[in-house]
């Protein structure tokens, strides 16, 4: 479980996050939605410790991450997997090497064991025969899937996905969404997903948080979001025509 208590973050005079709290439960997918520039990515970076918070704390299974020293943080980070918006695969490494990278760094697996685990992860994301391809040779959807494979290579307890569907066609988006949901349930992971894709909200969101101007504006389930009277949430949801019809 991940618990975020009252975190705030400013960049100079600009307040990016204001007093945000959330609880992400194990085996469930928590979705953070909101428009571009409203603080979703900053929130995720604060949760994983890529950005330091001005105030507030983050707990990973009751371990206070915010007050940990670098060495202790590293230990927790080895329990994390993250899929970045642009996949963030290492350009100089092949798909196989990308997925095997954390295994090389943090385990004493033999080359055979490593290859077996890499192949398992790639197969789990429905990718085969891409082992020797470099990121520049992969399509956007394939990159995301390799990114997921890399994120689950170390069997993480916490999975973070920043805009997993950005730049993907609707069909591939559904594939990625399904993968995230299945992996979360299968490995009992605590998953947090940033998105502004309403299809993802309906497909995989066990719990949904709406961020507006750096504040937690609304919280509920993916079903509740269709019936909320919150003006900003309704406007956001209403931009998807299908959902607009559903709301009616």
Partner 1 sequence: MMQTFSKPEKSSVFRKRIFEEIDKLGISSLPIVIIISLFMGAVITIQAAFGFESPWIPLYAVGVTTRDSVILEFAPTLVSLILAGKVGSSIASEIGTMRVSEQIDALEIMGVNSSSHLIFPKIIAAVFINPFLIIISMFAGILGGLFFGILTNVVTPYEYLYGIQYDFRLYNVTYALIKTVAFAFIISSVPAYHGYYTRGGALEVGKASTTAVVYSSLLILLFNFILTQLLLA
Interface residues with partner 1 (CB under 8 A) are 45, 48, 50, 73-78, 80-82, 84-86, 88-91, 101-102, 104-106, 154, 160
Distance CA 191, CA 181 (A): 9
Contacts of 240 (CB under 8 A, 6+ apart): 198, 199
Cβ proximity to partner 1, 18 vs 73, nearer residue: 73
Query: Mutual orientation of helices 95-106 and 111-124 as an angle, nearest 10°?
Result: 130
For residues 109 and 122, what is the distance between their CA atoms, to the nearest angstrom? 17
Residue among 73 and 213 whose Cβ is closer to partner 1: 73
State which residue, 99 or 211, has the beta carbon closest to partner 1.
99
Q: How far is the CB of 3 from partner 1 (least distance, A)?
A: 19
Q: CB of residue 227 vs partner 1: minimum separation in angstroms? A: 36
Nearer to partner 1, 194 or 222 (CB): 194
Contacts of 237 (CB under 8 A, 6+ apart): 198, 225, 226, 228, 243, 244, 247
Measured from the CB of residue 15, what is the shortest distance to partner 1 in angstroms? 20
Residue 9 C-beta: closest distance to partner 1, Å: 16
CB atoms within 10 A of CB 35: 16
- Is the CB of residue 184 less than 8 Å from the CB of residue 159? yes
**Of the two residues 87 and 202, which places its CB atom closer to partner 1 in the complex?**
87
CB of 225 to partner 1, least distance (A): 29
Q: What phi and psi values does residue 42 have, to the nearest 5 degrees? A: -60, -40
Nearest to 6 by CA among 58, 60, 48, 73: 58
Q: Shortest gap between Cβ of 20 and partner 1 (angstroms)?
A: 20
Choose between 100 and 217: whose C-beta lies nearer to partner 1.
100
In whole angstroms, give the CA distance from residue 26 to residue 6: 20
Give the Cα separation of 148 and 182 in Å (integer): 12
């Amino acid at each position: 479980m991940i618990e975020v208590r009252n975190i705030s973050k400013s960049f100079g005079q600009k307040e990016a996050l204001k007093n945000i709290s959330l609880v992400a439960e194990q085996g469930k997918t928590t979705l953070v939605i909101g428009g571009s520039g409203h603080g979703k990515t900053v929130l995720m970076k604060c949760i994983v410790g890529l950005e330091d918070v001005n105030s507030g704390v983050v707990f990973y299974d009751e371990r206070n991450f915010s007050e940990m020293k670098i060495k202790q943080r590293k230990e927790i980070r080895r329990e994390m997997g993250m899929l970045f918006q642009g996949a963030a695969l290492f350009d100089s490494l092949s798909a196989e090497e990308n997925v095997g990278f954390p295994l090389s760094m943090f385990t004493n697996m033999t080359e055979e064991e490593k290859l077996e685990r890499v192949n398992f992860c790639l197969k789990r994301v429905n990718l085969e025969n891409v082992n020797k391809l470099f990121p520049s040779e992969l399509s956007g959807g394939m990159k995301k899937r390799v990114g997921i494979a890399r994120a689950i290579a170390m069997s993480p307890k916490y999975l973070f996905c920043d805009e997993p569907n950005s730049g993907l066609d609707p069909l591939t988006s559904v594939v990625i969404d399904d993968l995230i949901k299945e992996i979360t349930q299968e490995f009992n992971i605590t998953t947090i997903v940033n998105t502004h894709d309403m299809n993802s909200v309906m497909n995989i969101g066990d719990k949904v948080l709406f961020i507006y101007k750096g504040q937690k504006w609304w919280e509920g389930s993916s079903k509740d979001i269709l019936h909320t009277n919150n003006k900003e949430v309704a406007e956001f949801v209403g931009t998807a025509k299908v959902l607009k019809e559903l709301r009616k």
